[in-house]
Amino acid sequence: MKARDTLFIGFTLFALFFGAGNLIYPVTLGYESGSSYYAAIIGFVLTGVGIPIITVAAISFFKNGATQLAGRVHPLFGFYFTSLVYLVIGPFFAIPRAANVAFETGIVPFINGSSLTLFIYSIIFFILVYWVSLNPSKLVDRIGQFLTPALFLAILGLVIGSFFLLDGTAQPPSEKYQTQPFVSGFLEGYLTMDAIAALAFGILVVTSFKDRGVTDQKELTFKTIKAGLVTAVGLTSVYVAIGWIGTKMATEGNYDNGSAILAGAANIMYGQPGTLLLGIIVGLACFTTCVGLTVACGQFFSKRISFLSYKSVIIIVTLISFGVSNIGLSQIISYSVPVLVFMYPITIVLIALTFLSRLFNHSTYVYRGAILLTAIVGLYDGLVAFGFEVSALRSIISPLPLFDYSLSWVVPALVGGLIGLIYDKLKGKPTGSDSY
């Protein structure tokens, strides 16, 4: 394969990751962190870029992607957890959310944002998503070579304009970033949802390399990491630049969210054409993400449910996504947050165990112990996010280290893994298996 293929695959991965949330959250961080911006953005990049890229690299170790990775806990867990991942980042939450954000940013500023308008827009949007998703072998060509450069140019226009047309200066940080800006930025990076999405996108990258003749495991992992580095450079550059715009907007007015901050910046710099530019940026970002997620869902479910073809799955995915999209963005977000709060710690622990697995001979019991205790804490956090406070659980979980930083699952994960390791040693024989 040619060297440029790795570059194009890296561009594709960037485009797949880069949805509307990846624009909104960094600019909000810059707006709120102010003079503490640099510490905050470093933390954000670690979780918003580092963990997803590491996850993609981890997927390259497994022939069957995320299912085999999660299957080290138990085969049934591997199937059901991975299915949940695809549904959450696919038709239930992520795809409809992206479609709605593109609508509200790129369409509503110019025409009436009524339910009928959303309905008509959704029809057109998902017909295009379905058409591009029909032939996944051309995904790299269509996204890596055309849409990603266009997305970069649109972002570049916004960033360059900020150097000359925005006069604001960084303000003192908000309460959230006053004491521990790095930790706050680190936690803010979770909101991109990219670590979970990487479980799906990883197999697309691996498949792209295999289609180009890469079969050796070490070479496959090496090239996956190289493509991931291309993606990491792109994401980091955009996050830092967009976040910096947020710091300059703090003196320009009060804004409720990242979308409003970006819209305000675009309007100040370019007027109505600036708003159009922002719509192009968000539209391209959302569209490429929706295509990637649809393809990933199609490939996953068609391989595991014998009576469903790839075409049938993407029809189902686009139809469900279309239906959910029309309930509105606020409702979609409110339903998705508790699920993500539950799933994110489990995902992080799974990836960490993958890279440490050789140290404990891939023991199933280490995986089970770590995941079980992580899931219990994650379930509590998810219930709290959904509005249910379980007093009995709170009295147990609140004393845990890092509870105030929403990282109370870390110590239970370590303890659960240690208990699993001790049990495995007492049994006197290995219980796991390698990736291949």
pLDDT in tens, the chain (436 residues): 677 888 888 888 887 787 767 888 899 899 999 899 999 999 999 989 999 999 998 888 887 778 888 999 999 999 999 999 899 888 998 899 889 888 887 888 788 778 889 999 999 999 999 998 887 666 555 565 666 677 677 778 888 888 888 877 778 888 889 888 998 898 888 778 888 888 877 877 888 888 887 777 788 888 888 999 999 998 999 899 999 999 988 888 787 777 778 878 888 888 888 888 878 877 877 887 788 789 888 888 998 888 999 999 999 999 999 999 998 877 887 787 788 888 989 999 999 999 898 889 889 999 999 999 999 998 888 888 888 877 777 888 888 888 877 788 999 999 999 999 999 888 765 555 554 4
Same domain, 72 and 93: yes
Q: Locate tokens 């360059």: which residue? A: 160
Same domain, 235 and 360: no
Residue that terminates a domain, selected from 297, 327, 357:
327
Gap between the Cα atoms of 154 and 15, Å rounded:
13
Which residue type, as a one-letter code, is found at position 429? K
pTM for this predicted structure: 0.81
Gap between the Cα atoms of 314 and 321, Å rounded:
10
Give the HSE-up count for residue 365: Cα atoms under 13 Å, Cβ half-sphere: 15
Residue that terminates a domain, selected from 327, 362, 386:
327
Same domain, 288 and 170: yes
Same domain, 405 and 431: yes
Same domain, 263 and 198: yes
Gap between the Cα atoms of 432 and 365, Å rounded:
8
Q: Which residue blocks in 271-328 are alpha helix, DSSP H?
A: 272-304, 310-325
Same domain, 311 and 367: no
User: How is the chain split among helix, strand and coil, in percent rounded to 5?
Assistant: 80, 0, 20
Q: Which residue blocks in 189-271 are alpha helix, DSSP H?
A: 194-211, 217-249, 258-270
- Are 53 and 269 contacting, i.e. CB atoms less than 8 angstroms apart? no
CA-based torsion, 203, 204, 209, 215: positive or negative: positive
For residue 131, give the 3-state DSSP assignment.
Answer: helix
Gap between the Cα atoms of 414 and 411, Å rounded:
5
CATH number of the domain enclosing 175: 1.10.4160.10
DSSP 111: S
Same domain, 187 and 284: yes
What total number of domains does the chain contain? 2
Gap between the Cα atoms of 192 and 182, Å rounded:
17
Same domain, 195 and 277: yes
Tokens for 72, please give them: 């080290």
Same domain, 228 and 257: yes
